[in-house]
Each structure stands twice: as structure tokens, then as C-alpha cells.
Amino acid sequence: MSASAMVPPSAAAAVARARTLLCVPATARAPREMAAELAAAAALGADVAELRLDRLAGFAPRRDLPVLLAQPRPLPALVTYRPKWEGGEYEGDDEPRFEALLLAMEMGAEYVDIELKVADKFMKLISGKKPETCKLIVSSHNFENTPSTEELENLVAQIQATGADIVKIATTATEIVDVAKMFQILVHCQEKQVPIIGLVMNDRGFISRVLCPKFGGYLTFGSLEKGKESAPAQPTVTDLINVYNIKQIGPDTKVYGIIGKPVGHSKSPILHNEAFRSVGLNAVYVPFLVDDLANFLNTYSSPEFAGFSCTIPHKEAAVRCCDEVDPIAKDIGAVNTIIRKPNGKLVGYNTDYVGAISAIEDGIRVLASQPTDTTTSPLAGRLFVVIGAGGAGKALAYGAKEKGARVVIANRTFARAQELGNLLGAPALTLAELENYHPEEGMILANTTAIGMHPNVNETPLSKQALKSYAVVFDAVYTPKETRLLREAAECGATVVSGLEMFIRQAMGQFEHFTGMPVVDCKFRALANSLVNPDAMKAAGITAHKARL
């Protein structure tokens, strides 16, 4: 199937529907602990709790189910007893498992989940015994890939034929465009009024868990806390509610997000979602783990996917993928912001260069006690060394040259440094050569690579000895806020400028492109600063999503 054929149909055209439920899997090993997880899930704002019976140690149905299903219950219960052959932990025969699920029904469980492979056998067992208050979920899990849309439609029909009340299909993403197939199935089922849980597992499928309310999914899962996931790349219920505002996502919600590889470290979803919330915008911002940018943009081409931030390694490819490119972004050769216009055309901008250069300028002015509104840049005439020749490196080099600096490009791969140097009329060096490069004192250094970014926090692009020649050192990495490069530069007496400043300022520019609204600096700054303060984030009940890449 071509990419264009997988574009999700308009969700706004879907009929009115109930809100997607938020379900928290209870995965404790002891019944009383699992019962306590139900109460904890209710306190966090969940709608349903999934009791994973296969996770219980020494589970005895007649002893343990009364503990788990005792009334009054803090949440409706979805009872699952997953066998190992379908990704669970139960290794026995089907009959005892079936009997336990039937007992759960009789004891008042609101939902019971059974696998498609054995659904017919289970239906025969429960014939005439299923309470009207209990809904039967028949599920299919594919841990290898995501089939074609046609195959998924056939699977829905096959599950419906068993007599299921709710269809559940979970597949695995080999690339992010796989999720579009599931969105298409959700909309199709919504139009046919077929209740469906449709999710795509692993990091590339993460968006299926957040955006399912937009496309009509019956239910999505969020773990009680990090480390208690019941499936790969499952977000926490706290993140779904507090970061992604999932209970407000609906058919008309506009989708924005950050395109990158890796992307799980990014704080942009927290920042932009809070900004959207503050101005009352019906929008959500999600992480897109993308391998092929052109394929991604061709697939998610509906107007509902309205804008994107673009990070490593896609900033240069974004120039080629956009229908129009802002002249400055074209000169830089890198795009970090993509807007989809009402006519469907993609327009690319670059907010990196303003964000980074203004942050460095202000850092120098503070050091020199200069006013921030001076007409002469403190970079004018200074030797400005840029490490990195990718999209961010191009933006910094371009911006510094525009301000009158004498730019030098250094990169691990010399050919890349030379290519950018030739474009700007700037000398090029390898990182090895940069170690002994100190033609003058008071130089400015800007690292635009990912060296030193979490989790590789002990790495640095330049030795401490070499840093002694620099008066100002900037690092585009902002996780952690103080990188090894900045720490050692400060120890050498340099003025250091955190990548957090670039992050804040480029994000402010992106917000204005996304919304057409003027940004309030202090709101962005206060929130962004809290993102690198774990205590502040914990107090806010936020645990930033970190995909396992």
C-alpha cells in the first residue's frame, strides 16, 4: 500500500462518540497489592483498571478474586489472564484460565479480555452465563509488525464474528507510518459503530496511545508509574493526563509534534502542551520517532497534522521536503519548524539561529554589563568556532556570520565541515585539529552536536585543556542542563551559555508559527526552567516521557 493511501481519514467527520477511556494495568504480584493499585489508579484519574491475573504469584481464583473484585471498587475492572503465547505470563492449560475468567464475570467484573485464538472455545464455555453487565473484549496481538489496512479490516471482521462486545487489536510498528493504518481502522470502526481498542506497540507506535481519542479508540492504556508498563513504550497515566491532556483530545484536536531520531529525550511535548493549554488551544503536541521524513510527511498529510518541530537528524532533509522554505532557512540549509498551510502546502522555517545567537549575545552582554538592546552585536569581529556541520551547526554558523563574527567550522567528519565552510567562506577543521587550535585568546565556542546529551553525559567534544582558549562556551545540548563541556569550560573561567536558552527561544518562535499568537516569554521561561529541575517536575506530577531508543 502506498503512503498516500494510508493517510488517516478526517476524524472530524466521525459521528458523536463517548470519550476514550483511560485504563491502568495493575501488575502487582500479590492480590492485596494489586487491589491497592486500583485505588492508586483511581486517585490519578483513570477510568478503568486492568487486573493482570497472569502477573500474580501463585494465583488461586476462588481465594484471590474476592479480594480483587470486592465491592465497592474504586474503578471498573478489566480482567485479563494472558497466556505466554500471547505476551503474558500464564503457562498452564486453557481450561483453568477460562474458569477463572468466568468466575470473574460472575463476581461482577465489568470487562473480560480473551484472545482471538481461543475465543470460540471460551464462547462455548460461557454460553448463557455471561452477565449483561460484563463486556467481552476479544484481542489479537501482533508482536512482529503491523499488517496492511485490508488485513486489519479482515481481522476486525474475524473478531466481530466471535461475538465480541469490543474488538482489541495491538500491533507493532516497524516505522511510524504503521500507526496511520491503525488510525484508519479506528475511524472505519467508529463509522460502523464498532467499539475498538486499536494500539501500536513500541516507540514508533507511541503516538497511537496518545492520539486514539482523536480517531475513536474505545480505550487506551497508561501505566501506574514508570517501570510498571504492561506493554512496550506505554506512557504513564500521569503523563497522559498532565502532559498530553488526553481527556480533552477529540476529533477536532489539531496535532503538532517533534520529529526526530532519537526523540524520547525531548522536553518539547511538556513545554508546547502546557503553552497550548495556557491559551485554550484545542491541540496536542507529541513525539514522532521518524526514520524517513518524506514518507512520514506524505503519510500524515491531512490538515489535522498541522505543524512540526524538526530535530536531529532531519533538519536538512526538511528543506527538501517542504513546498516552500523561508529565505533565511533556505540560506542556512536547515529547517526546524514545519507548518502545514490550509491549502496543504508545507512551509519550512528556522528558529534555531535566532534562539541560539540571541542567547549567546545576551550571555556576553551580561558578562560585559552591556544593555541588551544595543545595535552592535558583541559577536562582531570575534572568532566563533562551531562544532558540528548538521542543521543546528548551519544555523549557528549562519547566524554568527550575519552578526559579523569570523566563523570556523569543526566536525568529526572533515568533508562535512569543509562543505559547510565552503558555503560560508569559513575555514574547516577536524575535531582532532581543534584540540590544538588557539590562534588567539577570547574565542567563542558553540557545540551543536549531540555529544554529551543524556544518557552519554560523560562525553565531551573538546578536552578541558583546549577550552582554556575560549572566553564564551555555548552547548546546544540541554539534557542535562550542565553538560560536561559547560562544567569544564566554567572551571577554565569561561562564560557558559546553556542549551536551555536556545531551547526556550527557538520554542517561542515555533509557538508563534504554530498558533499565530504572540508568545509570553515569562510563561515559556518559567516552564522550561522547571523541566530541568526534577523536584519542580515531581511537584507538578510530571514525568517526562523518555522512549527506550
Provide the annotated active-site residues. 141, 168, 315, 352
CB neighbour list of residue 376: distance below 8 Å, 6 or more residues apart: none
CA distances, 72 to each of 63, 66, 77, 105 (Å): 18, 12, 12, 16
**Which 3-state string (H, E, C) describes 76-94?**
CEEEECCEHHHCCCECCCH
Length of the chain: 549
Burial class (CB in 10 A: 0-12, 13-18, 19+), 60: exposed
Instruction: Give the Cα separation of 331 and 438 in Å (integer).
Output: 29
Q: Which three cell numbers stand for residue 181?
A: 493504518
Grid cell 549562519 in the structure block, residue: 398
Instruction: Give the Cα separation of 524 and 267 in Å (integer).
Output: 12
> Residue 72, Cβ neighbours under 10 Å: how many?
4
Instruction: Give the Cα separation of 51 and 332 in Å (integer).
Output: 54
Q: Name the nearest CA neighbour of 549 among 240, 269, 260.
A: 260
Is residue 167 within 8 Å of residue 188, measured between CB atoms? no
Identify any residues that bridge with 385 across adjacent strands, giving them in sequence order: 408, 445
Q: DSSP string covering 350-366, please?
A: --HHHHHHHHHHHHHHH
Is residue 322 within 8 Å of residue 348, measured between CB atoms? yes
CB neighbour list of residue 309: distance below 8 Å, 6 or more residues apart: 256, 257, 258, 259, 268, 272, 336, 337, 507, 510
Is residue 387 within 8 Å of residue 393, measured between CB atoms? yes
Helix, strand, coil percent values for the chain (each to nearest 5): 40, 20, 40
What are the backbone dihedrals phi and psi of residue 343, each rounded to the nearest 5 degrees, phi first? -80, 5
Is residue 116 within 8 Å of residue 139, measured between CB atoms? yes
Write down the H helix ranges in 107-195: 119-126, 149-160, 178-191
